[in-house]
Amino acid sequence: MPFSRTLLLLLLIAPMLTARAQSFPRRIRLPQTLREISGMARLPNGDWWVLNDGGNASVIYRLGASGKNILETRNLPFTNRDWEDMCADPQGNLYIADVGNNFNNRRDLCVFRYQPQSKTLDSIVFSYPDQRDFPPSNMRNWNYDCEAMVFFQDSLHLFSKNRFKSNHIVKHYVIPAKPGRYVAELRDSIRLKNRVVSGAAISADGRTLALTSYMLGFKLGFIPFTKASVFYFTGFRGSMFFKGHKKKMRLPKFMIARQFESIMEWSPGCWLAANEGIGPQKPSVWRVKN
């Protein structure tokens, strides 16, 4: 083969080889310390931080690039009442969402802003504009739980986790990403039939929003079964995510669906979704595509 053709072929193949070398494995098992992983975020410097959900220690963990090793354990000086999701901004701040609200009765919803480099800590306290009762008397109106949050356009965007016995409406709230006390703005909503939202992430270019979700049902009226999915929203204007194009992808399943509670973009077109370790299932991170 002439040298010029060989060089051209190498130039064409090189990006493919580089992409393959930088791709993430299909699955990695996490340390058992992270058996209740509920949030993941990657800082601009590449640091990968994760957390466990409510009832666990007030700790965030920095993982190695492979995800198999915990490089650092950082104790934080506030209670993990019900930590759920975590996200990051371009300045390297982490936002820890203490917004879990299973019984819809909390009046102390809070997002902590933490700077891992300087170790500075602030809090963002908020309430929902449409909640009048704590909890609402009708459980079908219990839509003030939240497990999903992203940073986008200088704000924090939260997505409600509706009850199983409900209309499955997901509400999109917005609060400023700076310390203070706020009443959230209810910006939009969407019905995701037979799904409750458990995690969120947005792509680095701001063009794709991902929401992890699952459902719970019973076969023959008594045999439990679940399904887990990720919804991708694209083609939206501004932060009106739900007005864009919606696509649903199934997440890896076990005998029953794994409990996926966090997702993040690893590289363009490559997303990572983490499941908790429940029973025989092991806490793991999976590579998923959109």
Distance separating alpha carbons of residues 196 and 217, to the nearest angstrom: 12
10 Å Cβ neighbour count for 23?
A: 13
Distance separating alpha carbons of residues 175 and 56, to the nearest angstrom: 26
Domain count of the fold of the chain: 1
Tell whether 3 is covered by a domain.
no
Tell whether 228 is covered by a domain.
yes
Distance separating alpha carbons of residues 50 and 63, to the nearest angstrom: 8
CATH number, domain containing residue 171: 2.120.10.10
What range defines the domain where residue 40 resides? 27-289
The DSSP secondary-structure symbol of 66 reads: T
pLDDT-derived band of residue 274, with 50, 70 and 90 as boundaries? very high
Tell whether 6 is covered by a domain.
no
Residues 6-49: tens digit of each pLDDT = 444 434 444 443 344 346 899 999 999 999 999 999 999 999 99
Query: What local confidence, expressed as pLDDT, does residue 66 receive?
Result: 87
Query: What local confidence, expressed as pLDDT, does residue 181 receive?
Result: 98
Listing from the earlier edge strand, what are the strands of the sheet with 120-127? 83-88, 94-98, 110-115, 120-127, 180-183
Strands 223-234, 208-219: pairing is antiparallel
* Number of alpha helices (DSSP H) and beta strands (DSSP E) in the chain: 1, 21
Q: Please give the span between the terminal C-alpha atoms of the chain, in angstroms, as a whole number.
A: 38
Query: What local confidence, expressed as pLDDT, does residue 1 receive?
Result: 47
Tell whether 182 is covered by a domain.
yes
Tell whether 18 is covered by a domain.
no
Tell whether 8 is covered by a domain.
no
Distance separating alpha carbons of residues 257 and 250, to the nearest angstrom: 10
Name the pTM for this structure: 0.90
Tell whether 132 is covered by a domain.
yes
Contact call for residues 52 and 45 (beta carbons, < 8 A): no
pLDDT-derived band of residue 3, with 50, 70 and 90 as boundaries? very low
Residues 100-141: tens digit of each pLDDT = 999 999 999 999 999 999 999 999 999 999 999 999 999 889
| Tokens encoding 289 | 């595509």
Tell whether 4 is covered by a domain.
no
Residues 216-269: tens digit of each pLDDT = 766 666 666 678 999 999 999 999 999 999 999 999 877 666 889 999 999 998
The sign of the CA dihedral 234, 231, 125, 75 is negative
Distance separating alpha carbons of residues 201 and 111, to the nearest angstrom: 16
Distance separating alpha carbons of residues 95 and 100, to the nearest angstrom: 14
Contact call for residues 52 and 262 (beta carbons, < 8 A): no
Q: Which of 124, 187, 114, 112 is nearest to 157 (CA)?
A: 187
